[in-house]
């Protein structure tokens, strides 16, 4: 146990878990004291969702080292399978937590399967090519969902790609997916506690994978493909493993997020390339391969535009400027050199002070 704690990696992992749990406790206390505004309470579920997306995308981008722009597509699969399942089972499974857990698992499963199906042909590509193909797949997923009409009556499920009248349902039947207008009427089961649990599970899966034998193989592929191949690592297997796990986790996140609203539709803003790029921004800003960084970046960037509501019209402009500023501050070589300098100076002063005290 002692040796385990001494390991640098374990310590880092534990700190990451600690930050999530401490944040959870603080937020819960604030909520109990009635100190948390409605706006922030409403944001908790979306924040958890974006954090999960960022962590899972970091697995593809940071650990596998492949640029994927299709992450929102996998979340979209999760949203729709999860919510459709919940609506169908609303009267069958009474205990909401069992139904919700099953919906999340189903969302993850379907997204994982789609991940494998897409990954098989796509992972033969590298770099920019892969990015473009994943972007295309993300759009395909969104557009396919936009033409599906799904209804349910006593005869069972009806599906069509034209419109609701083509479903030919009994008058008392319910339309579940209404094409581009999305799903309406799912139970709103999502809450903050479940979100934090899912974040912890996501972190656990990703960090464990990274520190496992498989994880090292995946990182070896990232660092040098030819060398990895030459020592007998099965490239396709490990690439597919990372990619589909990442997709499945995004699907779970999506299923969770879908249960926060009364209506959800697959639009460009929330499940198209816009969102994929947004999640990539979380990952890049937080540091590629750095899970803790992506969590913090996702939280900050989700809160920021909402916190800026006070300046109404200029909100999105300021948000973009702040984003540019943050990127520059975090990643420009000049800023990094400046940060190094400041660190040396501060540490030097601290040491000096300590010496004086002694």
Partner 1 sequence: MKTMKKVMSLVLVSVLTLSMMVGCGNTETAATTWKIGGIGPVTGDASVYGQAVKNGMELAINEINEAGGISGVQIEYNFQDDECDNEKSVNAYNALKDWGMNILVGSVTSGCCIAVTAETAKDNMFQLTPSGSSVDCIINDNVFQVCFTDPNQGIGAAQYIGANGLATKVAVIYNSSDVYSTGIYEKFNAEAANQDFEIVSTSAFTNDSKSDFTVQLQQAKDAGAELVFLPIYAQEASLILTQAAAMDFAPTFFGCDGLDGILAIENFDPSLAEGVILLTPFVADAEDEMTQNFVSKYVESYGETPNQFAADAYDAVYTIKAAIEASGATPADGISGICDKMTGAMTTISVDGLTGTGMTWAATGEVAKEPKAMVIVNGEYTNLQ
Residues that bind partner 1 (CB under 8 A): 15, 19, 22-23, 26-27, 30, 34-43, 46, 143, 146-147, 163-165, 178-182, 184, 188, 261-265, 267-270, 292, 296, 299-300, 303, 306-307, 309, 312-313, 315-316, 343, 347
Instruction: Report CA Rg, the chain.
Output: 22
* Closest alpha carbon to 60 in 140, 115, 21, 136: 115
Tokens of 256: 């969770």
Question: Strand ranges (DSSP E) for 50-111?
Answer: none
Of 227 and 342, the one with the shorter C-beta distance to partner 1 is 342
Nearest distance, CB of residue 27 and partner 1, angstroms: 7
How many alpha carbons fall within 13 Å on the CB side of residue 223? 10
Of 37 and 234, the one with the shorter C-beta distance to partner 1 is 37
State the Cα–Cα distance between residues 279 and 117, nearest whole angstrom.
22
In whole angstroms, how far apart are CA 155 and each of 136, 150, 160, 185? 36, 13, 15, 20
Tokens of 175: 């339309």
- Which element (helix H / strand E) includes 169? none
Question: Strand ranges (DSSP E) for the chain?
Answer: 149-153, 156-160, 174-178, 183-184, 263-264
Residues 218 and 123: beta-carbon distance below 8 Å: no
Of 50 and 243, the one with the shorter C-beta distance to partner 1 is 50
Of 66 and 139, the one with the shorter C-beta distance to partner 1 is 139
Nearest distance, CB of residue 265 and partner 1, angstroms: 6
Nearest distance, CB of residue 50 and partner 1, angstroms: 10
Nearest distance, CB of residue 183 and partner 1, angstroms: 11
Of 128 and 172, the one with the shorter C-beta distance to partner 1 is 172
Residues 86 and 187: beta-carbon distance below 8 Å: yes
Nearest distance, CB of residue 68 and partner 1, angstroms: 21
Nearest distance, CB of residue 112 and partner 1, angstroms: 24
State the Cα–Cα distance between residues 109 and 129, nearest whole angstrom.
26
Q: Dihedral, CA atoms, 331, 337, 340, 346, nearest 10 degrees?
A: -120
Of 261 and 282, the one with the shorter C-beta distance to partner 1 is 261
- Which element (helix H / strand E) includes 19? helix 8-32
Of 128 and 313, the one with the shorter C-beta distance to partner 1 is 313
Nearest distance, CB of residue 313 and partner 1, angstroms: 7
Nearest distance, CB of residue 226 and partner 1, angstroms: 32
**Can you state the angle between helices 333-357 and 315-331, rounded to 10 degrees?**
70
Of 237 and 351, the one with the shorter C-beta distance to partner 1 is 351
């Amino acid at each position: 146990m002692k040796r385990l704690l001494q390991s640098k990696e374990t310590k880092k992992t534990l700190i990451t878990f600690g930050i999530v749990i401490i944040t959870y406790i603080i937020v819960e206390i604030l909520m109990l004291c009635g100190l948390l505004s409605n706006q922030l309470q409403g944001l908790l579920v979306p924040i958890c969702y974006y954090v999960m997306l960022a962590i899972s995308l970091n697995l593809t981008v940071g650990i596998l080292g492949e640029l994927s722009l299709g992450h929102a597509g996998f979340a979209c699969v999760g949203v729709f399978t999860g919510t459709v399942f919940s609506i169908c089972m609303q009267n069958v499974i009474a205990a909401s937590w069992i139904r919700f857990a099953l919906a999340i698992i189903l969302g993850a499963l379907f997204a994982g399967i789609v991940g494998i199906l897409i990954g098989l042909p796509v992972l033969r590509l590298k770099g920019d090519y892969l990015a473009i193909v994943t972007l295309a797949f993300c759009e395909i997923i969104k557009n396919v969902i936009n033409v599906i009409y799904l209804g349910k009556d006593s005869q069972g499920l009806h599906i069509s790609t034209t419109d609701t009248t083509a479903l030919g349902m009994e008058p008392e039947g319910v339309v579940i997916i209404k094409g581009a207008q999305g799903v309406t009427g799912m139970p709103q089961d999502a809450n903050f506690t479940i979100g934090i649990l899912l974040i912890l599970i996501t972190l656990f899966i990703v960090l464990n994978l990274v520190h496992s034998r498989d994880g090292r193989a995946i990182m070896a592929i990232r660092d040098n493909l030819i060398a990895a191949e030459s020592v007998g690592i099965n490239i396709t297997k490990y690439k597919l493993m990372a990619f589909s796990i990442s997709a499945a986790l995004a699907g779970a996140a999506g299923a969770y997020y879908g249960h926060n609203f009364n209506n959800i539709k697959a639009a460009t803003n929330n499940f198209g390339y816009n969102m994929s790029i947004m999640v990539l921004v979380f990952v890049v800003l937080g540091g590629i391969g750095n899970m803790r960084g992506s969590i913090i970046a996702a939280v900050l960037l989700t809160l920021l535009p909402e916190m800026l509501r006070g300046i109404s019209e200029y909100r999105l402009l300021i948000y973009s400027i702040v984003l540019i500023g943050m990127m520059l501050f975090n990643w420009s070589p000049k800023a990094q050199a400046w940060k190094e300098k400041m660190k040396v100076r501060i540490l030097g002063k601290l040491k000096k002070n300590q010496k004086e005290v002694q």
